[in-house]
Amino acid sequence: MNDIVSSRGDDRAAAPRSATADSVRTPAAPARLLPPADALDDGVITARIRAALLLDPAMTGSDVSVNTDHGVVNLTGIVASREQAAIASGHAQAQDGVMRVDDHLAIALR
103 occurs within a structural domain: yes
Using CA atoms, how far residue 103 sits from 18, 41, 51, 75, in Å, is 57, 20, 18, 5
50 occurs within a structural domain: yes
15 occurs within a structural domain: no
Give ∠ CA 42-55-40 in degrees, rounded to 5: 20
Tell me, what CATH number does 48's domain have? 3.30.1340.30
Q: In the predicted model, is pLDDT for residue 47 greater than 90?
A: yes
Q: What is the pTM of this model?
A: 0.64
70 occurs within a structural domain: yes
Max CA-CA distance within the chain? 91
Helix H or strand E segment including 75? strand 72-79
pLDDT tens digits, residue range 60-89?
Answer: 999 999 999 999 999 999 999 999 999 999
What's the domain count of the chain?
1
Domain that holds residue 61: 42-107
